[in-house]
């Protein structure tokens, strides 16, 4: 596991210039607001639903896709240029997912499978989250195979991942549970006015937040898959992991090309139970540059269950969300979500 056979030489020089372009974001009444300059000289939309400022849609796309702001400490465009030009190794694995689909969980389990131990990774997952890296050369120091992760749209991931056929572990979670988890995540840095009702209304409005919404992410992933049918992608549903983690870990081991026993998969499953991971996380410290950004703390381990949306959505909100999902399906997105 520790060979650095494909450790890239030299530093991460840009491969080519991607396209950066300014766009405008439409507001609820259809007008265009160009106030509130954002990072990189961009401009943000108005914010009637009281979302945290740094998750609002910016008026900038990069490589044809809306830019996310990451953290207040970083210049998004500069960061994206670094990420796009990162040198990949063909045995890298990238966990790619819309936020709150279980990235921390799968990352921990995959690291255990690859190391053949049930030792917890001592670094926080944010260290290997591409959009949050402070120093790209730190990734060069990691042993192969590297387990990287990202919530970025696929168009913003390292350009070399296609030619190197970097394995993608794509996580999917039921949109209502995912939305509830995301609301609580953003609520950690929002005002009292950021109610769940406000969240739902803004979240299902195209282009309101910088990521738009989970369905947009899934659509882009599906398009990538269509365009790259030979690319190794494994789709994992959070609900399947909850239901039968051992079988999922066996399949994951096969996907990343390692032999493992069912017994070891059971041990990994046990070591990565919600309670144990929550406990293990207490000893990890965020990199210093993120400490400032998440000054109120970063709580990832909230409930870890399937179906929590039933405790959050009112009937009216649920119907509104169902209509949103139906609209997405009409646009051609296959609905293969797990409901249980």
> Rule CB under 6 A: which residues touch ligand A3P?
97, 99-105, 181, 184, 272-274, 277, 300-304, 308
Smallest Cα–Cα separation from 234: which of 221, 220, 223? Answer: 221
The Cα 44–Cα 281 span in angstroms is: 34
Instruction: Decide whether 60 or 101 has the Cβ nearer to ligand A3P.
Output: 101
Spatial contact of 174 and 337, defined as CB atoms under 8 Å apart: yes
Instruction: Decide whether 310 or 327 has the Cβ nearer to ligand A3P.
Output: 310
- What radius of gyration, in Å, describes the C-alpha atoms of the chain? 20
Q: Please name every residue paired with 26 in a beta bridge, in sequence order, or none if there are none.
A: 32
Spatial contact of 70 and 132, defined as CB atoms under 8 Å apart: yes
Minimal distance, residue 178 CB to ligand A3P, in Å: 8
Instruction: Decide whether 158 or 304 has the Cβ nearer to ligand A3P.
Output: 304
Instruction: Decide whether 251 or 300 has the Cβ nearer to ligand A3P.
Output: 300
Instruction: Decide whether 103 or 212 has the Cβ nearer to ligand A3P.
Output: 103
Instruction: Decide whether 234 or 300 has the Cβ nearer to ligand A3P.
Output: 300
Smallest Cα–Cα separation from 186: which of 195, 174, 177, 176? Answer: 195
Taking each helix axis from N to C end, the angle separating 315-330 and 214-227, rounded to the nearest 10 degrees, works out to 20
Most distant pair of Cα atoms in the chain: their distance: 59
Query: What's the start-to-end Cα distance of the chain, in Å?
Result: 36
Minimal distance, residue 221 CB to ligand A3P, in Å: 15
The residue behind tokens 């005002």 is 191
Instruction: Decide whether 303 or 327 has the Cβ nearer to ligand A3P.
Output: 303
Minimal distance, residue 101 CB to ligand A3P, in Å: 5
28, 175, 220 from 328: Cα distances, Å: 18, 12, 13
The Cα 239–Cα 340 span in angstroms is: 6
Instruction: Decide whether 262 or 299 has the Cβ nearer to ligand A3P.
Output: 299
The gap from C-alpha 2 to its chain's centroid, in whole angstroms, comes to 26
Spatial contact of 68 and 85, defined as CB atoms under 8 Å apart: no
Q: Which residue is nearest to ligand A3P (CB)?
A: 304
Q: The tokens of 64 are what?
A: 């044809």
Instruction: Decide whether 233 or 271 has the Cβ nearer to ligand A3P.
Output: 271
Smallest Cα–Cα separation from 256: which of 111, 151, 104, 159? Answer: 111
Q: The tokens of 130 are what?
A: 């591409």
Smallest Cα–Cα separation from 107: which of 77, 88, 128? Answer: 128
């Amino acid at each position: 596991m520790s060979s650095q056979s494909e450790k890239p030489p030299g530093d991460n020089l840009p491969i080519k210039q991607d396209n950066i372009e300014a766009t405008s974001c439409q507001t609820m009444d259809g007008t265009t607001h160009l106030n509130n300059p954002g990072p990189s000289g961009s401009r943000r939309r108005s914010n009637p639903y009281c979302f945290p400022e740094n998750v609002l849609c910016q008026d900038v796309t990069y490589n044809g896709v809306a830019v996310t702001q990451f953290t207040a400490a970083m210049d998004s465009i500069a960061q994206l240029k670094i990420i796009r030009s990162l040198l990949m190794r063909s045995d890298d694995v990238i966990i790619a997912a819309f936020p709150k689909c279980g990235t921390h969980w799968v990352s921990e389990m995959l690291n255990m499978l690859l190391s053949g131990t049930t030792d917890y990774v001592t670094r926080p997952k944010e260290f290997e989250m591409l959009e949050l890296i402070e120093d790209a050369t730190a990734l060069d120091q990691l042993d192969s195979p590297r387990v990287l992760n990202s919530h970025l749209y696929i168009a913003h991931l390292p350009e070399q991942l296609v030619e190197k056929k970097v394995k993608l572990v794509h996580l999917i979670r039921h949109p209502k549970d995912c939305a509830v988890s995301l609301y609580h995540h953003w609520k950690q840095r929002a005002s009292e006015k950021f109610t769940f009702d406000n969240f739902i209304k803004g979240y299902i409005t195209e282009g309101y937040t910088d990521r738009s919404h989970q369905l947009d992410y899934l659509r882009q992933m599906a398009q990538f898959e269509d365009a790259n049918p030979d690319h190794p992608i494994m789709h994992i549903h959070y609900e399947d992991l909850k239901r039968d983690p051992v079988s999922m870990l066996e399949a994951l081991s096969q996907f990343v090309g390692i032999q493992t026993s069912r017994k070891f998969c059971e041990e990994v499953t046990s070591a990565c139970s919600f309670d144990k991971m929550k406990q293990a996380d207490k000893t990890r410290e965020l990199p210093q540059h993120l400490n400032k950004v998440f000054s109120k703390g970063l709580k990832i381990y909230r409930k870890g269950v399937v179906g929590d949306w039933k405790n959050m959505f009112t009937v009216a909100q649920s119907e509104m969300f169902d209509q949103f999902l139906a609209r997405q399906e009409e646009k051609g997105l296959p609905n293969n979500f797990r409901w249980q």
